[in-house]
Amino acid sequence: MTETLRRRASSIIHSPKGDSSTVTAPPMLSPQNAWRVLCRRTGGHISRSTFYRWVSEGKVLSFRLGEHILIPWPTLEELIQRCLKGERL
């Protein structure tokens, strides 16, 4: 996992008013929704099985919450940019 992904995953977003008492986490997506967004934004060049393999191998940052797997939106945005540039994971 890249250092950029680690930094983004550990970062928190403060409220735009500068009020440090209000802290929110970045939006999270299910793997299915993340894969759909990825396909839409990249032209559908990544198969579902490849995306799920990337998640299971840790190439795509994800969090497990009980039985649910969640992918942070900033991680997905970075993955989209990497795919559009033609980088390999």
**% of the chain at pLDDT higher than 90:** 63
Burial of 61 (C-beta count, 10 Å sphere; 0-12/13-18/19+): buried
Per-residue model confidence as pLDDT tens digits over 42-81: 998 899 999 999 999 999 999 999 999 999 999 999 999 9
pLDDT at 21: 66
Task: Identify the residue whose tokens are 């970075």.
Answer: 78
SS3 24: strand
With a threshold of 0.75, does the pTM exceed it? no
54-61 contacts at long range (C-beta below 8 A, 24 or more positions apart): 54/89, 55/31, 58/1, 59/1, 59/89, 60/34, 60/89, 61/1, 61/5, 61/6, 61/8, 61/9
Mean of per-residue pLDDT scores for the chain: 83
| pLDDT tier for residue 25 given thresholds of 50, 70 and 90 | confident
